[in-house]
Chains A and B, each alone.
Chain A
Amino acid sequence: MTLLALSGIGKRFASTQKAGGVQALDDLSFAIQTGEFVSLLGPSGCGKSTALRLAAGLLTPDAGAVTFPHGKPEIGFVFQEPTLMPWADALTNTRLPLVLKSMPRREANARAAAALARVGLAGFERALPRELSGGMKMRVSIARALVAQPKLLLLDEPFAALDEITRNRLGDDLLRLWREDGLTVLFVTHSVSESAYLSERVLVMPPRPGRIAADIALPHSRDDRLSSVTIEAQRGINAALQAATA
């Protein structure tokens, strides 16, 4: 069942550098099925963030359309930076989507606390962002994205700023949450190994203007970063990426 489809998307930005602007996306098309974990992989500047923001409805395309054939689902969004309110504690940050929907404070608090517990931050409800490590801040950001029980989770290079140990741990947690909730995940990354380990499908984007150069299915089980299957997947993705950027 198709949850989300982008078809023939074009997007141009005004630019101070180039007259006529920058063509960020040109004829970008892909579809995502319910329950899939899909990575969007490409070099920096190829339009991954733009595609994700279009999917979330935060941008409107110049050409083409973003469609949700079975209705627009609740969406959770995770940015590259934790993007927390520095004046508010972890619980207040996490409950923001619920408060914006005017959910009663008691229920919002209970759900936010539960979401924090799910990302391993039970007991840190009252901690301010400046008191948390980079990895913990990202966990709050994920808890906030999950708190409104989204069907679709969009992540924009969420682990790019973290060290490898933290990154791996958060990746495993993300896989667990995906399995437990039956989420659909669209995961933007520029890391071949991350996409190979985490996803069921990798969409490879060439340098600007962005479109889909390769659509690679990875039919392996995600339980070992260094299994021969994962390494083999990395080889395939790498080859497609090289072909796309050449």
Chain B
Amino acid sequence: MRRVLDIVFPVALAAVILGSWEWTIFHWQVPHYVLPAPSAIARAICANFASLMASLGSTLAVTLQAFAAATLLGVATAIGFSQSRLLERTFYPYAVILQVTPVVAIAPLILIWVGFERINLALVIIATLVAFFPILAGATLGLKSADFNLLDLARLHGASRLQILWRIRLPTALPYLLSGMKTAGGLALIGAVVAEFVAGSGTATGLAWRIVESGNRLEIATLFAALALLALTGVLIFAALSLLEWALLRRWHESAISEAA
């Protein structure tokens, strides 16, 4: 029952908002180039369906590649940190600097270095930098959170570092990692959008570029259509990662158990 209500209430809210939006535009005769009605946005989606889907595919590809790269790099770095205090002490400050530096500021540099002929790679690198830190932070914390007594027990029975990592540290880290991945999924999309904005005309073909382009042409309905697709993509990424989290943790971890109950 609660699950049903979890869906019914937000959907009802959306209906109310869209309805009053439509009515406001109609009643006050708001020009479509200022704010288009939801129906106009829907028409824009239908009219440009094929090209919008192509743009969505392009942005989604960058996002997913960046997310996968950030996950691999973040977990690998965290494992490195967990094996060597020296490594962690040396590199963690730089990871933090990377995190606090606005990536928009270094995006033009990356584009120049990688080159516009390899625009896709440049976009992926920028989005990866944006998504990397939550994965690293989550995995690092998780790998450190193993029960000290359990680690002692493993050592007592002659466990190797690799066995301890695989049998105890990594499973302990899983909930922390998944939580970092949920944050990183949204950030990868933001990173992809920012990268497209910076890359600018002609070279990038994703949804962010469609927003810039339709803004320049005052096709505000198309702009909103691209925006809606971006928001929907973000929601779907979050939902997919939440589902993954639930599937992996539901049997044993408090966070997932209380959700299911």
Give chain A's interface residues, CB within 8 Å of chain B: 53, 56-58, 75, 77, 79, 81, 83, 85-88, 96-97, 99-101, 128-130, 148
Contacts and interface: CB of A to CB of B under 8 A. Distances in A.
A99 B167 contact: yes
B172 to A, nearest CB: 8
Nearest 10 pairs of A and B residues by beta carbon: A97-B157, A83-B149, A100-B159, A100-B157, A87-B252, A79-B149, A58-B152, A87-B171, A86-B252, A83-B150
Contacts of B152: 53, 58, 77
A77 B253 contact: no
Contacts of B153: 77, 79, 83, 96-97
13 contacts: A58-B152, A58-B155, A79-B153, A83-B147, A86-B252, A87-B171, A87-B253, A96-B153, A96-B154, A97-B157, A100-B154, A100-B158, A128-B251
B168 interface: yes
A58 B257 CA distance: 35
Main secondary structure of the interface of A (DSSP, over half): loop
Contacts of A100: 154, 157-159, 163, 167
Given A77-B152, A83-B147, 13 more contacts: A56-B156, A75-B156, A77-B153, A77-B156, A79-B149, A85-B150, A85-B171, A87-B174, A87-B252, A96-B157, A97-B153, A101-B157, A128-B251
A79 B158 CA distance: 18
B40 to A, nearest CB: 51
Contacts of A101: 157-158
B157 A128 contact: no
A180 to B, nearest CB: 22
Contacts of A97: 153, 157
Interface in B236-261: 251-253, 257
A83 B147 CA distance: 8
Question: Which range holds the interface residue count of chain B?
Answer: 20 to 34
B154 A130 contact: no
Interface string B139-165: 000000001011011111111000100
A185 B215 CA distance: 79
Contacts of B158: 100-101
B167 A96 contact: yes
A121 to B, nearest CB: 18
Contacts of A96: 153-154, 157, 167
Which residue among B153, B155, B168, B253 has the maximum number of chain A CB atoms within 10 Å of its CB?
A: B153
Contacts of A58: 152, 155-156
B116 to A, nearest CB: 47
A75 B158 CA distance: 11
Contact of B156 (A57, A85, A130): A57
Contacts of B174: 87
Contacts of A83: 147, 149-150, 153
Nearest to A92: B167
A173 B43 CA distance: 75
B167 A130 contact: no
Contacts of B168: 85
Nearest to A79: B149
A197 to B, nearest CB: 26
A75 B171 CA distance: 25
A128 B159 contact: no
A155 to B, nearest CB: 13
A59 B117 CA distance: 59
Contacts of A130: 252, 257
B165 to A, nearest CB: 12
Contact of A81 (B149, B154, B156, B167): B149
A130 B251 CA distance: 9
A134 B33 CA distance: 67
Interface string B166-206: 01100100100000000000000000000000000000000
Contacts of B253: 86-87
A87 B163 CA distance: 16
A65 B192 CA distance: 61
A47 B243 CA distance: 47
